[in-house]
Amino acid sequence: MKVTVLIPGVLRNATDGAAHLDVDVPDPATLGAALDVLADTYPALDRRLRDEQSTLRRYVNFYVNGEECRRLSGPATPLSAGAEIQILPSVAGG
């Protein structure tokens, strides 16, 4: 199924400038599966979103249809057709 991923400006140097990416996710479609598909095409993006164990980076938020994934099922959050994943750096640092 197709979902859309919204890329924040600070990471667009890793997506050839793209702000929106349409991703075809195999079943069972989850956030993690969508990120796996993205990683194949955009490895430089993936390393900024997840570490080498595919753990989501702590200070990057992934909103699935407006809900941060950690309040859902994290990378196992199921996706429906047409879902929108918005990636946003969290408020952190000093």
Partner 1 sequence: MTVVVAIGTRKGLWLARSEDRVTWQVDGPHHAMQEVYAVAFDSREGLRLMAGVSSPHFGPGVSISDDLGATWEESSTPPIAFPVDDAALERVWQLQPAPASQPGVVYAGTQPSALFRSSDGGRSFEFVEGLWNHPHRPEWEAGFGGQAVHTIVPDPVDPDRMLVAMSTGGVYRTADGGKSWEARNKGIKAYFFPDPWPEFGQCVHKVAQHPALASRFYAQNHHGVYRSDDGGDTWQSIAEGLPTDFGFAMVVHPHDPDTIFTFPIEADGRRFPPEGKCRVYRSRDAGSSWEALGEGLPDAFWTAVMRDAMCTDDAAVPGVYFGSRSGEVYASPDEGDTWHQVAAHLPDVMSVRATVIPT
Cβ at position 88, least distance to partner 1 in Å? 10
- Site of interaction with partner 1 (CB under 8 A): 11, 14, 43-44, 47-49, 51-53, 55, 57, 59-60, 89-90, 92-93
Paired with 5 in beta bridges are 21, 85
| 75 vs 83, beta carbon nearer partner 1 | 75
Q: Is the dihedral of CA 63, 2, 12, 33 positive or negative?
A: positive
Cβ at position 15, least distance to partner 1 in Å? 11
Sheet holding 67-68, edge to edge: 20-24, 2-6, 84-89, 60-64, 67-68
| 51 vs 67, beta carbon nearer partner 1 | 51
